[in-house]
Amino acid sequence: MSSNVTAVSYAPKLRLSDVQRLRAALTAAGVSVDAESRTGDGRFEVYSADCSLESGTAAELAELRRVAAGAIEGVDTAIVPASLRNAPRKFLIMDVDSTLIQQEVIELLAAHAGKREEVTAVTEAAMRGELDFAQSLHARVAVLAGLPADVVDSVRAEVKLSDGAAELVAAFKAAGHVVAVVSGGFNQILQPIAEGLGLDYWIANELEIVDGALTGKVLGDVIDRAAKEKYLREWAAAEGIPLEHTIAVGDGANDLDMLGAAGIGVAFNAKPAVRAVADAVVNMPYLDAVRYIAGV
């Protein structure tokens, strides 16, 4: 029984020789290449090829992804099931720090406490999967104790969306799809961003503030990797969207469970451990490359 997929390649520049090399690699892997298309906007170029697999088993799909990943140096290629790209309603869920936005908010907050270098080292270790996320979060937030609450406003003003983030959300929303974010960061920073983008769902950790100052603690359960997967499943179910039609995007070890549970997991400028297991990778600074992967 055959199965249909689409190979989607993207890079700042896609030469004809790149396309020919990918097509040859797909054909050599036993794939029938059908309709092809190219597009681009001056920032990056995209090549898409509809393909037919002999059986479409998980093993066959994994092997095709391995072949495509090594086909063209400097060019990323995602292999996406046609059932996802053609789904009438899709669910996009993203990490926030270093994905939806360019910065790590905890590092911006720590800078106001004179502890940025110390906190950055812990953050990077946690995102590589070397530390328990919840324990590392509590340790990093502890250095914020005593900061005035208005530091949150200062940090919020420093936050910048990733290139293409607003365009990605707008494209999904305009097509009638659902967009969510789940963050190991903080509600006080995320709320105005989420509301401004018109996100359907969002959640993050809550910084405790008492008498106008940060206490160095967070309230409630930490949003860790298990929580991210939980919310993906809960929100998609609430919308009546099967997991096969979901797209998850993240960059760190905290996102691994969510990426693994989604119909396709995308590593965005991610740590090596995440790139190694994700279904697709984006190594450009343009988050809206995800819309081409998803067929939106």
Q: Which residues are catalytic?
A: 95, 97
Residues 216, 146 contacting (CB under 8 angstroms): yes
| CA dihedral for 100, 105, 106, 108, sign (positive or negative) | positive
> Taking a C-beta distance cutoff of 8 angstroms, is the pair 8, 77 a contact?
yes
CB-CB contact of 95 with 225 (8 Å) = no
Q: What is the widest separation between alpha-carbon atoms in the chain?
A: 67
Q: Look at the alpha carbons of 194, 200, 205, 211 in this order and tell me if their dihedral is positive or negative.
A: positive
Pair 224, 156: CB distance under 8 Å: no
Instruction: Report CA-CA distances (Å) from 274 to 23, 80, 225.
Output: 27, 18, 13
What DSSP assignment string belongs to 46-70? EEEEEEEESS--HHHHHHHHHHHHT
Q: Which strands form 201-210's sheet, in the order they lie side by side?
A: 213-219, 201-210, 178-186, 91-94, 246-250, 264-268, 280-282
3-state secondary structure at position 137: helix
Considering only CA atoms, which of 23, 26, 28 is closest in space to residue 38? Answer: 23
